[in-house]
């Protein structure tokens, strides 16, 4: 007798679980979730360019330009609210932070057939950014993965620190043949950016994103300290320069990928 009671109960539970799986376990927790405002947290990695400004140095074996664009690797974290408008349209307001730290070291050999480290150039970057952004999204509803193209506008501020060091040992047959360049540059800046990208949104609100960004930097302050010694000179030139109220602008690019979750 008990088995005739248990079988209907198990059948009812199975039907209930199947219905709820279709509603909550499907893409983005089902249509009700997609058509509501919701929170989102995202984390990603960036391949970013930064416009560097340094005292120019023309050595016998190395030239350091006064202006260059360097490539950095960074990480970002953001938190925001996605406001559903209707008809697949939504806007996302976020606040976020980005941190980049890159160290690049180049060893110069005395000659191809001589295993002697003749020079070393080290470039070290730290860049920190805080920003607010507003994105306009449109959802393309598919069965497995929803596709959401977007355009995003951001404003923010940050600080950078660049250390550039070059040193050559020189040859014993040349008087004062060594070269030395050691500079540190700290900058404050504001930025604006425009991004074009796409979100891929799937099971239980999990998502990933990919975007291209154009960034416009406005540098406001710069502090430069360091020293350099030129080829065949014995004197060392000290550099200490403070530049305030700057209005230097530069436009560079960035590529970002990451993951996130709606809740």
- Residue 55: the pLDDT is 94
- Residue 23: the pLDDT is 38
The mean pLDDT value for 9-31 works out to: 39
Q: Are residues 143 and 159 in the same domain?
A: yes
Q: Are residues 149 and 202 in the same domain?
A: yes
Q: Of the given ranges (25-34, 110-119, 177-186, 237-246), which has the lowest mean pLDDT?
A: 25-34
Residue 59 belongs to domain with CATH number: 2.40.160.20
Q: What is the mean pLDDT of the chain?
A: 84
pLDDT digits (tens, 9 = 90+) for 156-165: 999 999 999 9
- For residue 27, pLDDT over 90 is answered with no
Q: Of the given ranges (95-109, 120-134, 171-185, 233-247), which has the lowest mean pLDDT?
A: 171-185
Q: Are residues 24 and 116 in the same domain?
A: no
CA dihedral over 78, 80, 84, 90, signed as positive or negative:
negative
Q: Are residues 14 and 39 in the same domain?
A: no
- Which domain does 48 fall in, by range? 35-262
pLDDT digits (tens, 9 = 90+) for 36-88: 899 999 999 999 999 999 999 988 778 899 999 999 999 999 999 999 999 99
- Residue 113: the pLDDT is 54
Confidence band, pLDDT 50/70/90 cuts, at residue 13:
very low
- For residue 6, pLDDT over 60 is answered with no
Q: Are residues 22 and 100 in the same domain?
A: no
Q: Are residues 23 and 112 in the same domain?
A: no
CA dihedral over 124, 158, 153, 218, signed as positive or negative:
negative
Q: How many domains does the chain have?
A: 2
Q: Are residues 16 and 75 in the same domain?
A: no
Measure the CA–CA gap between 231 and 179, rounded to whole angstroms.
5
Q: Are residues 42 and 24 in the same domain?
A: no
Confidence band, pLDDT 50/70/90 cuts, at residue 21:
very low
Q: Are residues 102 and 9 in the same domain?
A: no
- For residue 89, pLDDT over 80 is answered with yes
Q: Are residues 87 and 12 in the same domain?
A: no
- Residue 155: the pLDDT is 98
- Residue 39: the pLDDT is 95
- Residue 119: the pLDDT is 81
- In the chain, % of residues over pLDDT 90: 67
Whole-angstrom distance between the N-terminal and C-terminal Cα of the chain?
46
- Residue 234: the pLDDT is 81
Q: Are residues 92 and 169 in the same domain?
A: yes
pLDDT digits (tens, 9 = 90+) for 102-149: 999 888 765 555 555 678 899 999 999 999 999 999 999 888 889 999
CB atoms inside a 10 Å sphere around CB 126? 17
- Residue 12: the pLDDT is 39
Measure the CA–CA gap between 243 and 221, rounded to whole angstroms.
6
- CA atoms lying within 13 Å on the CB side of residue 154: 28
Q: Are 55 and 238 in contact (CB under 8 A)?
A: no
- DSSP states of the chain as a string? -HHHHHHHHHHHHHHHHHHHIIIIISBTTSHHHHTS-EEEEEEEEEEEEEEEE---EE-SS-EE-SEEEEEEEEEEEEEEEEEEEETTEEEEEEEEEEEEEEEEEEEEEEETTEEEEEEEEEEEEEEEEEEEEEEEEE-B--SS-EEEEEEEEEEEEEEEEEEEEEEE---TTSTT--EEEEEEEEEEEEEEEEEEEEEEE-BTTEEEEEEEEEEEEEEEEEEEEEEEE-TT----EEEEEEE-S--EEEEEEEEEEEEEEE-
Which residues are CB-contacts of 114 (< 8 A; sequence separation ≥ 6)?
none
Q: Are residues 23 and 46 in the same domain?
A: no
């Amino acid at each position: 007798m008990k088995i005739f009671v248990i079988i209907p109960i198990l059948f009812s539970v199975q039907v209930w679980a199947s219905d709820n799986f279709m509603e909550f376990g499907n893409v983005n927790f089902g249509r009700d979730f997609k058509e509501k405002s919701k929170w989102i947290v995202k984390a990603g990695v960036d391949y970013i360019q930064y416009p560097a400004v340094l005292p120019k140095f023309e050595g016998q074996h190395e030239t350091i330009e006064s202006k260059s664009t360097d490539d950095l690797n960074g990480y970002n974290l953001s938190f925001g609210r996605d406001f559903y408008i209707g008809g697949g349209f939504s806007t996302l307001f976020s606040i976020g932070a980005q941190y980049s730290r890159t160290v690049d070291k180049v060893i110069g050999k005395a000659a191809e057939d001589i295993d002697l480290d003749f020079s070393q150039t080290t470039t070290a970057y730290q860049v920190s950014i805080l920003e607010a952004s507003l994105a306009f999204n449109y959802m393309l509803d598919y069965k497995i993965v929803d596709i959401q193209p977007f355009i995003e506008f951001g404003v923010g501020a940050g600080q950078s620190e660049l250390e550039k060091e070059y040193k050559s040992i020189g040859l014993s047959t040349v008087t004062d043949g060594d070269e030395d360049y050691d500079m540190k540059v700290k900058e404050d800046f504001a930025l604006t950016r425009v991004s074009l990208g796409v979100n891929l949104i799937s099971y239980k609100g999990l998502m990933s994103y990919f975007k291209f960004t154009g960034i416009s930097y406005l540098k406001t302050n710069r502090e430069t300290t360091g020293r350099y010694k030129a080829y065949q000179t014995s004197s060392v030139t000290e550099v200490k320069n403070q530049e305030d109220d700057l209005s230097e602008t530069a436009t560079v690019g960035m590529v970002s990928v990451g993951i996130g979750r709606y809740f």
